[in-house]
Homo-oligomer: A and B are copies of this chain.
Amino acid sequence: MVVGEISQERDLVIIGGGPGGYNAAIRAAQLGLEVTLIETEDMGGVCLNKGCIPSKVWTHAAKKNAELVHLKELGIHTGNTSFDIKKLMAYKTKVTDQLRSGVEALCKANKIELIEGKASFLTEDRIGVENGHQFDVYVFKQAIIATGSTTKYPAELSGNSSRIFLSYEIFELPHLPEHLIIYGSDYISLEIASSYASFGSKVTILMREDEDFLFDKSINKELKRLLKRKKIQVKKQVVIQAVEETEKDIRITFADDKQTKQTVEGTHLVAIGEKKPNVNELGIGRLGMKQTDKGSIVINHRMQTSLPSIYAIGDVTEGPLLAVKAIKQGKAAVESIAGGNPEVDLTFLPVVAHTIPPIASVGLTEKEVHDHGLVARISQFPIGSNGYAMISNQRDGFIKVITDTRNDLILGVHMIGEGAVELSAVFVQLLEMAGKEEDVIFPNYAHPSMNEGLMEAVESLIGHAIHITPQKQ
């Protein structure tokens, strides 16, 4: 290792080229700052290369595969259909390659200096970057840590088997698993379950002790009903006791919700692991940077760490480990550095799952409303009562709206049904802008469209949905 003799001067150094890091870098360039972005692996980070994007390629293909039956009734005849996961893997690589080169091109066009290497802080204003035998030292005015997180195997499992995968790694399996066991219940678990079931795998979900799906209770209930219909088994309150691998499969022994000993045999297991912040090799310990017990970097409302010249954003900080948070914080951090006074408010963060049908949830759940002691009006509009849903024959699910009886304010919107993810922008807008029942009822919506379903969900709060029978409102 050759230690650079002279330290080079930089204005803003960003460590990590994931969504948080590259959004911060480009916004910084837009604000006139000189930016250096350090990434040790692929630009775009886990989200673009392994997580968010590949998983949405999977869920997108799964949706299209599930629609094949519907094509027949539309008069679109296909021959025998088959699914080739290797082609999907190639398509995924094409998409991620394009997105990654897009990000690289944007960085170049924004005159962002890209440095490949592993960064660690030497002092509050000096950082070392190691790349093979090269070691360069940079003096910076400000730095932003955007190194993200790494998923770890649950303690009760390990990856010492070609049949066990950790979260998104399952997308690297070059054939369809005959029977995929999923150990987890978050949106990643659900997207994997929904995708592989659509492709033709048998799927079993093992839900940990005291876990439920992460949405409003009525959405969780409808989700379970739909999973059951797709023959996806859900085992609750699972405490794994043993994992054995035979030549042909993998056997999990566990206690279930009745504390009975059970076994499930599958060909493959995917374990949804916990994400841990990537902070250990940054040298922040020796600088005395404040961290939580779990290692997350503590930041203030300006994304500043306890060392004023160093900021941190995304998965290395506390809060939800989602790209949308990292992006928001990344932009806010540089706006703050550039002298602005940005605000990051994650109150109305949409929680989504690209299942079939998809789920989107914004604002308070029914339980949260009760926990807050609020008196609420609650309605559910069945997707099947919407005209456009009948046209597209995607009738599962409902839109649930919760409002405050005192002032008609919308407190939460929860949807399971076709189009939920894109419609979530409406839910977000309504909550951010303190929308009331009247704000949904008053406007005009395209007819026929699922938008009318949202309107009717709100009309139903006062028994005024046209397409629900009086008894059911």
Contact = CB atoms under 8 A, between A and B. Distances in A.
A471 B109 contact: yes
Interface in A314-347: 322-325, 327-328, 343, 345-346
A260 interface: no
Given A76-B68, A422-B419, A467 B52 contact: no
Copies of this subunit = 2
Contacts of A22: 466
A356 interface: no
Interface SS, A side:
helix
B86 A447 contact: no
A362 to B, nearest CB: 9
A407 interface: no
A74 B99 contact: no
Interface stretch (A58-66, A118-126, A238-246, A283-291): A58-66
Interface string A422-438: 11111011101101000
Interface in A86-109: 86-88, 91, 95, 98-99, 102, 105-106, 109
Contact of A442 (B76, B345, B450): B345
A457 interface: no
A446 B91 contact: no
A74 B64 contact: yes
A152 interface: no
B74 A91 contact: yes
Contact of A78 (B74, B78, B350, B435): B78
Nearest to A346: B444
Contacts of A388: 56
A292 interface: no
Contacts of A98: 390
Contacts of A71: 64
B76 A79 contact: no
A451 interface: yes
A76 B86 contact: no
A53 interface: yes
Interface string A266-278: 0000000000000
A421 B390 CA distance: 16
Contacts of A91: 73-75
Interface in A7-37: 19, 22-23, 26-27, 29-30
Contacts of A391: 53, 56-57, 60, 95
B110 A87 contact: no
Interface in A432-473: 432-433, 435, 439, 442-451, 454, 463-464, 466-467, 469-471
A424 B451 contact: yes
Contact of A61 (B53, B65, B76, B84): B76
A81 interface: yes
B324 A444 contact: yes
A348 interface: yes
Contact of A445 (B99, B428, B470): B428
Contacts of A85: 75
A249 interface: no
A446 B350 contact: yes
Given A19-B447, A30-B463, A75-B86, 14 more contacts: A27-B466, A48-B387, A53-B448, A65-B74, A102-B385, A106-B469, A109-B469, A109-B471, A110-B470, A325-B444, A423-B425, A425-B445, A425-B446, A433-B435
Q: List the 9 closest A-B pairs by CB distance, nearest first.
A: A79-B79, A75-B87, A78-B78, A75-B88, A425-B451, A61-B74, A109-B469, A75-B84, A323-B447
